[in-house]
Structure 1
């Protein structure tokens, strides 16, 4: 079952360009700190200044693609104190590297990561993908010896149902839902003060056409680019899960 789940999600990644962008960005972040102890020391020092307990960015390569990417994504999005978190620390350090590194490759990579992390649509999609992966991770735990076949079938059906629902609305209490709530709160506060809405995630100002996230949960009112990526991911995930587990589903 875990092997089939892995194959299904690899197919989903090939179908969806934005998942590939998430994978590439997480890999660039890992590469920056894995091969440079100096950069890792600077990131931790910056985290201490911000009051963030910085974790070592997780790698995304390995024999099990899904757990690696899920862990790396959760690490990047983890919250901290005073609206700061791992995301803030990495973004600020990339800004520093982009302007100070004498190595052209490192500086160029840092600029690319910083630009990607400042894209509101991309950040919102990362939150959505974290919600999808959380359901997939729970299903992967059904590989225990004491699990019997009916439990596996029930778990798969629940996974398909919860994934399909995410096409229309965020997972209740999930990452994307929390982001929406935070954006709505920011919008209310700024409107009360007579300011133009300026949306942020962990103090990082976000750019792009994603502001409708702060207005409604209905899928038709989401930013088109984000909604298209969500719909494509949900449909591809459901399609490939059904294809890989057709024997369990009796189809």
Structure 2
């Protein structure tokens, strides 16, 4: 009986570990164990049939997960305490406005590089001094020698990267052999942030894309209206993507989906305006029918493709530092090639080739009186590129070169 119970408990831990590895909800634990008892395991079948205590309640499963977590954490920390390692940290704010610092460690094992998540640090202050104290307490609590830090990877904000009082300097004061590595993807993300500060059309586009995502993300009813219009057009229903300022790929996807579902989005907004009479819907539709905003989205769709290739390279685990200048140069060459096509009026292979079609849709849906009022300030694809599109790409090239010192 005792041996059977031990085997049963062992199988509970193995089943719980399986759930964790598959990212399944712990509520599936009871169904999984009962299924094993019915089909293939005599020990589990015997315990479930005879005993009233099966350890399948949510409390018991949570306790098993905690035991597994502590076991693997201690196993990892035992190895880490004996090794020199890279400390990776990034600060962010969650939806409840709590500041959190996530901490990772990366080091070399006989089987190759290994990276482990160590935990979250909750902090009310985000000064470099407060973050340094928090990291020291965190590592001390896990009995990890701070002097074993050989590299530190942080983002490029002043709090983290400051030469005199930044977090990287404070860490290097404690561990003199440590070398600071600035997150290159964060450098690339800041290029777009810098462009936003000086380009009003880009700000309007960023606001528009985010507003469209919020409209459908936070209202299932409005999302259902959008889905029904896609089905009417014979389109595969898709969801709009949140355009995060520091995520190039999200902006690219948001722009691509805006272009692909432009007329469907207009019909959806018209329907929502008629049914809800919400001023926000009128504002979104008005912004969607501004030719400058539409043209800028098409320009971004072209421009963000080479930028995204560079971003994906920087995220690769096998990225070679010596190849970075070559990759940056390739990105610059691709952007300059887009400029040449724009200037020659050759839009073949570019998303901007859809500009005339989208402008026609806008004119077709605009009231006659409005078209007459705006006739004097008519926006043309070529005129927009000369005044806004091409200068934007040149500014982006400058930002990328400055970020990587090419």
Normalising by structure 2, report the TM-score. 0.47
Equivalent residue number for residue 119 of structure 1: 290
1:76 counterpart = 2:258: yes
Question: How far apart, CA to CA, are the structure 1 residues paired with 2:187 and 2:365?
Answer: 39
Q: Does the CA contact (< 8 Å) of 1:210 and 1:226 recur in 2?
A: no
> 1:119 deviation in Å?
2.5
> 1:140 deviation in Å?
0.8
Match of 1:134 among 305, 313, 319: 305
> 1:5 deviation in Å?
0.5
Equivalent residue number for residue 379 of structure 2: 210
Question: How far apart, CA to CA, are the structure 2 residues paired with 1:172 and 1:159?
Answer: 19
Question: How far apart, CA to CA, are the structure 2 residues paired with 1:57 and 1:155?
Answer: 30
Residue pairs, 1:97-246, within 5 angstroms: 97-102=272-277, 107-143=278-314, 144-170=316-342, 172-176=348-352, 178-179=353-354, 183=357, 199-200=360-361, 205=365, 209-211=378-380, 213=381, 222-223=382-383, 225-246=384-405
Question: How far apart, CA to CA, are the structure 2 residues paired with 1:38 and 1:227?
Answer: 41
> 1:46 deviation in Å?
1.5
Question: How far apart, CA to CA, are the structure 1 residues paired with 2:404 and 2:332?
Answer: 11
Question: How far apart, CA to CA, are the structure 2 residues paired with 1:164 and 1:146?
Answer: 28
> 1:240 deviation in Å?
1.2
Equivalent residue number for residue 88 of structure 1: 263
> 1:49 deviation in Å?
1.2
Q: Which has the higher contact order (CA 8 A, sep 6+)?
A: 1
- Structure having the higher strand fraction is 2
> 1:99 deviation in Å?
2.3
Mean CA deviation greater in 46-55 or 166-175? 166-175
Structure index of larger Rg: 2
Unaligned runs of 5+ in 1: 79-85, 187-197, 214-221
Unaligned runs of 5+ in 2: 1-183
Equivalent residue number for residue 173 of structure 2: none
Secondary structure of the residue aligned to 2:339 is: coil
1:33 counterpart = 2:205: no
Question: How far apart, CA to CA, are the structure 2 residues paired with 1:205 and 1:160?
Answer: 38
| Aligned alpha-carbon RMSD (Å) | 2.6
> 1:28 deviation in Å?
0.8
> 1:108 deviation in Å?
1.4
Normalising by structure 1, report the TM-score. 0.74
Question: How far apart, CA to CA, are the structure 2 residues paired with 1:199 and 1:51?
Answer: 21
Equivalent residue number for residue 194 of structure 1: none
Question: How far apart, CA to CA, are the structure 2 residues paired with 1:162 and 1:172?
Answer: 15
Per-residue CA deviation, residues 119-138 of structure 1 (Å, 9 max, x unaligned), is 23321221111111111101
Question: How far apart, CA to CA, are the structure 1 residues paired with 2:341 and 2:379?
Answer: 15
Question: How far apart, CA to CA, are the structure 1 residues paired with 2:330 and 2:200?
Answer: 26
Per-residue CA deviation, residues 177-212 of structure 1 (Å, 9 max, x unaligned), is x325x65xx9xxxxxxxxxxx8237x975776234x
Per-residue CA deviation, residues 200-231 of structure 1 (Å, 9 max, x unaligned), is 37x975776234x4xxxxxxxx22x4432113
Question: How far apart, CA to CA, are the structure 1 residues paired with 2:330 and 2:389?
Answer: 19
Mean CA deviation greater in 158-167 or 27-36? 158-167
Equivalent residue number for residue 83 of structure 1: none
Secondary structure of the residue aligned to 1:73 is: helix
Secondary structure of the residue aligned to 1:55 is: coil
Equivalent residue number for residue 67 of structure 1: 249
